[in-house]
Amino acid sequence: MVAAAMSAATCNPGSHLKRTISVTRTSQTKPFFTNVSFPSNSAAGRPLTVTCSSTTLHTSSTTSAAAASSDRVFNFAAGPATLPENVLLKAQSELYNWNGSGMSVMEMSHRGKEFMSIIQKAESDLRSLLNIPPDYSVLFLQGGATTQFAAVPLNLCSPDDAVDYVVTGSWGDKAFKEASKFCNPKTIWSGKSDKYTTIPKFETLDHNPNAKYLHICANETIHGVEFKDYPTPAGDALLVADMSSNFCSKPVDVTKFGLIYAGAQKNVGPSGVTIVIVRSDLVGNAQPATPVYLDYKIHVDNSSLYNTPPCFGIYMCGLVFDDLLAQGGLAEVEKKNEKKAGILYDAIDGSKGFYRCPVGKTVRSLMNVPFTLLKPDLEAEFIKEAAKEKMVQLKGHRSVGGMRASIYNAMPLAGVEKLVSFMKDFQARHDH
């Protein structure tokens, strides 16, 4: 057993009330506070004691459904999504006292040496994971990937510049519509007529050789299509990618891109952090009317600290980066993701039509797996029964319907195995 005790300073100069918080926990436990007693005014100086009881968490090394805890909830949400349990345990152990500083990351100054070491290590580990060259800047920003729909054209082109968009889903479409406010975008291909179930061969498209950049969404969270190979734009056009839902799920050659952006809440952290990787020579050319919070140069010059950053979210991202490196890097992570996705897609394809995935097999996402039932009236029952078995957030996006299983990096193999087992049992009970 590990015991931690902290004494809080006097509440104010005129008060004699002090408090002592005693925390007792077991390694790899999730605390919750019980037995909280507050001193009365007549007992000033009497310590406030908080006793922690705990429940055990199971680490992400679990590899089979049989070994999974009966209390484990598998979260198949598209985001915020599951985080690695060993990362959560690490964050828990440092919640009250990070690295001997006596402070939580949530309360330390974002300009202090403690947080500077956190954000610098997070950037260093991300650079190692993706082999990011030194002539690319890494930014930890706020506002979500949707804010980058505006930031990209504002920083990379003038109002009259032509840019190309390949629209493979709802997020690509939203990015195009936002860009139309700040430049002259053209959709050179859209999969809307086919309900976003495929990706075109780029060489067959009527692209603009004078376009400033080509924008793609590397993985469409809602519709479940993913680029397996990235296009090479014509002429001097830059390749720009929204990688929000497959960021750090596999190796990527960053040098093929002028800019990559991604919300953290799928694979690398809690919601609130947006990561931008931008080639340094593209920084400093923002349109004159660009707000300061969207100007990449402002953030590069201030090392992502122009305003108060989402400190705890960045800290969590750093823990995830460290974990991914410990797994052997993104090549090993990709193998695990391929195995999980393969098991699920095989179950769908082998169900003799009871389950159906509408996405073309060559562009199926490793992250987001949409599927429907042969009998649509059973879908609500499927979701309800799955929830009773502690598999949640399986309902498809409202614009698509059906089901969707998001199986990001931190979804353990046990979660996918349990889902597949449930799918087979559900089919056996309803396929008649």
**What residue ranges define each of the domains in the chain, with the CATH number in brackets?**
1-56 (no CATH), 113-326 (3.40.640.10), 330-430 (3.90.1150.10)
Helix, strand, coil share (%) of the chain residues, nearest 5:
35, 20, 45
pLDDT of residue 399: 83
Strand partners, 238: 213
Residue pointed to by tokens 């974990």: 323
pLDDT of residue 58: 39
189 catalytic per annotation = no
| Cα angle value 265/60/427 (rounded, 5°) | 85
Strand partners, 34: 51
pLDDT of residue 425: 98
The token duo for 305 is 């600290």
Long-range contacts of 331-336 (CB under 8 A, 24+ apart): 331/250, 331/251, 333/248, 333/249, 333/250, 333/409, 334/249, 334/250, 334/251, 334/366, 336/409, 336/413
H or E, element range at 2: strand 2-8
The token duo for 416 is 């996918």
pLDDT of residue 252: 98
Alpha helices in 66-195, H assignment, sequence order: 85-93, 113-130, 144-156, 170-179
Task: Say how far apart CA 250 and CA 17 lie, in whole Å.
Answer: 54
User: With contact defined as beta carbons under 8 Å apart, do 341 and 366 qualify?
Assistant: yes
Q: b vs e for 93-121, b when ≥16 Cβ sit within 10 Å of the residue's Cβ?
A: bbeeebeebebebeebebeeebbeebbee
* C-alpha R_g of the chain: 24
pTM: 0.84
266 catalytic per annotation = yes
Q: Which of 164, 173, 242, 295 is catalytic?
A: 242
User: With contact defined as beta carbons under 8 Å apart, do 333 and 405 qualify?
Assistant: no
pLDDT digits (tens, 9 = 90+) for 348-382: 999 999 999 999 999 999 999 999 999 999 999 99
User: With contact defined as beta carbons under 8 Å apart, do 257 and 241 qualify?
Assistant: yes
Low-confidence ranges of the chain (pLDDT < 50): 1-69
Q: Which of 266, 336, 395, 418 is catalytic?
A: 266
Closest-CA residue to 265 (of 85, 144, 124, 175): 144
Q: Which of 125, 171, 395, 418 is catalytic?
A: 171
Residue 231, preceding bond cis, omega within 30 degrees? no
Q: Which residues contact 180 (CB under 8 A, 6 or more apart)?
A: none
